[in-house]
Amino acid sequence: MDISFIVFLQELLGNPALLIVSVLTLGVILVNGWTDAPNAIATSISTRSINPRPAILMAAVMNFLGILVMTFLNANVAMTIYNMVDFGGSSHDALVALCAALVAIVAWATAAWWFGIPTSESHALIAGISGAAIAIHNSFAGINGGEWIKVLYGLIFSTFLGFGMGWAVVRLTELICRKMDRGKTTPFFRGAQVCGAAAMAFMHGAQDGQKFMGVFLLGICLSRGQADVSEFSIPLWLMILCSAVMAFGTSIGGMRIIKTVGMDMVKLEKYQGFAADAAGAVCLLFSSLTGMPVSTTHTKTTAIMGVGASKRITSVNWGIVKEMLMAWVFTFPGCGLVGYLMAKLFLMIF
For Cα atoms 326, 331, 335, give the angle at the middle one, nearest 5 degrees: 145
Going by C-alpha positions, the residue among 247, 252, 269, 155 that lies closest to residue 202 is: 247
Residue 234's contacts (CB-CB under 8 Å, 6 or more residues apart) are: 71, 75, 78, 213, 217
- Which string of DSSP letters, residue by residue, matches 130-164? HHHHHHHHTSGGGB-HHHHHHHHHHHHHHHHHHHH
CB 99 within 8 A of CB 20: yes
For residue 337, what pLDDT is reported?
Answer: 92
Tens-digit pLDDT profile for residues 249-288? 877 765 555 655 555 556 778 898 899 999 999 998 888 8
For residue 1, what pLDDT is reported?
Answer: 62
Q: What is the 3-state secondary structure (H, E, C) of 24-42?
A: HHHHHHHHHHHHCHHHHHH
Tens-digit pLDDT profile for residues 47-96? 888 887 788 788 878 888 888 888 877 777 777 777 888 877 677 888 88
For residue 266, what pLDDT is reported?
Answer: 62
For residue 343, what pLDDT is reported?
Answer: 93
| Cα distances (angstroms) measured from residue 93 to each of 50, 83, 87, 118, 347 | 48, 18, 8, 32, 7
For residue 264, what pLDDT is reported?
Answer: 55
For residue 131, what pLDDT is reported?
Answer: 93
For residue 89, what pLDDT is reported?
Answer: 64
- Write down the pTM of the prediction: 0.81
Distance CA 324, CA 295 (A): 13
Distance CA 202, CA 176 (A): 27
For residue 261, what pLDDT is reported?
Answer: 54
pLDDT digit string (tens) for the chain, length 350 residues: 678 889 899 988 888 888 988 999 998 888 887 776 667 787 888 788 888 778 878 887 888 888 888 887 777 777 777 788 887 767 788 888 899 999 998 888 778 767 766 567 778 888 999 999 999 888 898 898 888 888 888 878 888 888 999 999 999 999 998 888 877 888 899 999 899 989 998 988 888 888 888 888 888 888 887 766 666 678 889 988 988 888 788 777 655 556 555 555 567 788 988 999 999 999 988 888 887 888 887 788 888 888 888 877 766 777 767 766 777 778 888 899 999 999 999 989 88
For residue 132, what pLDDT is reported?
Answer: 92
Give helix 296-311 / helix 270-290 axis angle, nearest 10°. Answer: 140
Give helix 270-290 / helix 182-223 axis angle, nearest 10°. Answer: 30
Containing H/E element for 185?
helix 182-223
Beta bridge mates, 85: 143
